[in-house]
Amino acid sequence: MRLLLIEDEERLAEALAYILKKQNYGVDMAHDGDIGQSLAESGSYDLIILDRMLPGKEGVILLRELREQGMTTPVLMLTAKDSIADRVEGLDAGADDYLVKPFATEELLARVRALARRPGQLVEVEKLQVGELCLDPKLCEVDIDGVLIKLTLKESQLLELLIRNMGQVITKEQILDRVWGLDSDVEVGNVEIYVHYLRKKLGSQYIRIDTIRGLGYCLKKTD
């Protein structure tokens, strides 16, 4: 499950992201409405947690535009307001659920789980295809020419990140942040170990993970 968290109060956002990552959710963050919207449009998310009052584009307007574009991803709206009119406006804009600040983290997690379970709502996690290699992030499985290779959750998240950024250099710090979370005590050395595992498991028939010295890694199609 990959979540997009759009929240301008950075300390709250960091705290929520930390809690969500502890639950094995992948989390991307945006601190204003404009960046949030471009992430929502470009990324594929299973759930969006959207603060209502945002600098840049305001939450309700942003959500209305995303729904007009046909985005069906479940949206949990966070708000400091709790009037019926505000609630209706949020739901009318296309929010699936609503949480009034301040809230207990347990309540947030319960709402996230409920939205993730809602049948027909959750966008199917897409499989990622590179040549004859296909990653199923939900099952943590890679299919190479019909041969299934089981990955661990972290290996799968790492490969997903590399495939989504194919041809671009990803730093070890970015990998740590995206796969393990900002506050994780995992060190950069672990990234190297996981890349090593991935290379061993996947071989180099269709893709290869290049080390870009001093920078990070880059996934490329094998010529």
Q: Which residues contact Ca ion by CB under 5 A? A: 8, 51, 53
Residue whose pair of structure tokens reads 């050395």 in the numeric block? 189
The CA–CA distances, whole Å, from 59 to 1, 64, 77, 183 equal 22, 9, 8, 27
- Nearer residue to Ca ion within complex by CB, 58 or 192: 58
Query: Cβ-closest residue to Ca ion?
Result: 53
Q: How far is the CB of 151 from Ca ion (least distance, A)?
A: 37
- Nearer residue to Ca ion within complex by CB, 10 or 210: 10
- Nearer residue to Ca ion within complex by CB, 58 or 97: 58
- Nearer residue to Ca ion within complex by CB, 46 or 51: 51
The CA–CA distances, whole Å, from 104 to 16, 51, 95, 101, 125 equal 11, 16, 20, 9, 28
Calpha distance 12→16 (Å, rounded): 6
Q: How far is the CB of 55 from Ca ion (least distance, A)?
A: 8
Distance of CA 159 to the CA centre of its chain: 13
Report the candidate in 210, 116, 194 with the shortest Cα–Cα distance to residue 159.
Answer: 194
Q: Where does residue 220 rank: exposed (0-12), middle (13-18), buried (19+ CB within 10 A)?
A: middle
- Nearer residue to Ca ion within complex by CB, 4 or 144: 4
Q: How far is the CB of 66 from Ca ion (least distance, A)?
A: 18
Q: How far is the CB of 101 from Ca ion (least distance, A)?
A: 9
- Nearer residue to Ca ion within complex by CB, 7 or 155: 7
CA angle (122, 123, 129) in 5-degree steps? 145
Q: How far is the CB of 78 from Ca ion (least distance, A)?
A: 8
Q: How far is the CB of 31 from Ca ion (least distance, A)?
A: 9
